[in-house]
Amino acid sequence: MKQEIKEGEKVTKEKRSTKGWVYLLIGLVIVYLLGLFTVTIVRGVMSTNIITNAQDRVATWFRDFTDTVKIESKKDSDTTEEKNDSSESKNTSDNIVLNVTSEEKSRIEIVKQSMPSVVSIAVSSVSLNQSGTVDTTSNIGTGFIVDSSGIVVTNNHVVEDTSSDYVVVTSDGTVYKTKEILKDSAYDIAIIQIDTENKDSKFTAIELGDSDNIVAGQSVIAIGTPLGEYAGSVTTGIISGLNRSVTAGSSSWYGSTSKTYEGVIQTDAAINSGNSGGPLINSSGEVIGVNFATTSSADNISFALPINKVKERLKEYKTYGKFIKPYLGVSYETISQIYALYYNVVPGAFIKEVESGSPADKAGIKKGDIITTFDGQPVTGSLTDMIQTKKVGDTVEIKLYRDKEYVTVSATLKEAD
């Protein structure tokens, strides 16, 4: 009995040991399954997050792409509208909207206001071809209207050929014959009266300024017909200098073909052949000068006659129907103090030519003399201006420097033809 019990106890212990291994194995399996389950859940969550993020990124990219397409579409639409607007502006040029500065706007307004008053001076001629006679006009210069009755100002050298038939071409292309031309060679000024041929024509006159009230640096506008082809051409610049002395023609010291103009305005506004006689306009739209000369050996150096000299002649023309000009009859060049020191002479008006039968000729003034005083006043500037302060018939005392000696003569001024 005891032995069975012992054996039985032994058997029981072995059974209990086997069960323990089974429980351990089951536990390991459960732990493994739990671990596998946990890993699976974690992976699922991570996978879900990745997918979600990817979906978010795709959605964001798609949204951005859609917005971009919308923007580009809007730009294309705007561009089309702009092109349509541009096309409409071209079709109706009067309604063009410009993006300009206040300075540009002012300049544009001045040009628009002045243009109807600027004219081309042309030569009318008749030629033959296979069809017969042909009337042609060739632009040679510029002018500007100063009175609604059709009074035009230009340069004397533009209309100095007495054998030519001159006409005036207005800004709208209308060609008018000239009724009368008055010339002042001393100042290179000419006044033309337009022949309206019984037409009820009214002309737009431009405003005249004050050339005694200008300074270097002021903005100016030049309008003219450069090269005789481009009517209404506009150039801009500034007043570069005042009271310049300009010799037009030959520059030879003893040349007889040149003429000196005193007190003229220098500008850097482009002035070319054909611009002569055109207006030099200030920033108020007023004419302050008459363009008349430029340099061939340098750029941006041109000259204009002061408008106040023109105003004097206009007053005479309107009052007397002609220019009242006292006349001495000399061609001269002003010698400054510096030139006098260089040439070892005295300052004054160096006489280059004396017109036969003129007051100067009758007074005994000779070529090569230097007029040092005129009626008691030293000649330091324009002799022409000094003569114009006198009246026709005045007798003036003139002091000359000749052969290193001083000679005094008297001359009675005549009226210029």
Cβ atoms of 177 and 345 closer than 8 Å: no
- Look at residue 293 in the predicted model and tell me its pLDDT: 86
Structure tokens belonging to residue 289: 């000068």
Cβ atoms of 327 and 415 closer than 8 Å: yes
- Look at residue 197 in the predicted model and tell me its pLDDT: 76
188 labelled catalytic = yes
Q: Do domains 113-195 and 326-415 have the same CATH topology?
A: no
- Look at residue 46 in the predicted model and tell me its pLDDT: 45
Question: What is the residue-level pLDDT of the chain in tens, covering all 417 positions?
Answer: 444 444 444 444 444 555 667 677 777 777 767 766 665 554 554 444 544 554 555 455 445 544 444 444 444 444 444 444 443 344 434 566 778 888 888 999 999 999 999 999 998 866 666 565 556 667 789 999 999 999 999 999 899 888 888 999 999 888 899 999 999 887 899 999 999 876 667 899 999 999 999 999 999 999 999 887 888 899 999 999 998 988 776 433 333 446 778 889 999 998 888 889 999 999 999 999 999 988 877 788 899 999 999 998 999 899 988 888 888 999 898 898 888 899 899 999 999 999 999 999 999 999 999 999 999 999 988 888 889 888 889 999 999 999 999 999 999 999 887
At 152, give phi and psi (nearest 5°): -120, 140
- Look at residue 351 in the predicted model and tell me its pLDDT: 94
Q: What's the CATH code, domain 219-320? A: 2.40.10.10
CA-CA distance, 149 to 195, in Å (whole number)? 10
Please name which of 264, 283, 278 lies closest in space to residue 220, comparing C-alpha atoms: 283
- Look at residue 246 in the predicted model and tell me its pLDDT: 84
CA-CA distance, 188 to 155, in Å (whole number)? 5
- C-alpha distance from residue 91 to each of 11, 15, 95, 98 (Å): 118, 112, 9, 15
Please report, as a single letter, which amino acid is at residue 172.
Answer: D
Structure tokens belonging to residue 107: 């300049």
H/E element, 132: strand 132-147
164 labelled catalytic = no
Q: Return the beta strands (E) in 148-299 as ranges.
A: 151-154, 165-169, 175-184, 189-195, 219-224, 233-248, 259-267, 279-281, 287-294
113-195, what's its fold?
Answer: Thrombin, subunit H (2.40.10)
Structure tokens belonging to residue 89: 């502006």
Q: Which of 117, 120, 184, 188 is catalytic?
A: 188
Output the pTM of the full model.
0.63
Place of tokens 């493994």: 32
Please name which of 282, 294, 283, 280 lies closest in space to residue 244, comparing C-alpha atoms: 294
Q: What are the boundaries of each domain within the chain?
A: 1-89, 113-195, 219-320, 326-415
- Look at residue 38 in the predicted model and tell me its pLDDT: 61
- C-alpha distance from residue 12 to each of 3, 21, 22, 26, 274 (Å): 14, 15, 16, 21, 139
Q: Which of 117, 211, 276, 358 is catalytic?
A: 276
Cβ atoms of 328 and 411 closer than 8 Å: yes
- Look at residue 324 in the predicted model and tell me its pLDDT: 85
Q: Which of 157, 184, 211, 331 is catalytic?
A: 157
Structure tokens belonging to residue 55: 């979906």
- Look at residue 103 in the predicted model and tell me its pLDDT: 87
- Look at residue 253 in the predicted model and tell me its pLDDT: 35
- Look at residue 83 in the predicted model and tell me its pLDDT: 44
276 labelled catalytic = yes
* Residue 347, helix vs strand vs coil: coil
CATH class label, 326-415:
mainly beta
- Look at residue 230 in the predicted model and tell me its pLDDT: 87
H/E element, 119: strand 118-129
CA-CA distance, 6 to 129, in Å (whole number)? 158
CA-CA distance, 277 to 192, in Å (whole number)? 11
Cβ atoms of 122 and 155 closer than 8 Å: no
CA-CA distance, 391 to 414, in Å (whole number)? 9
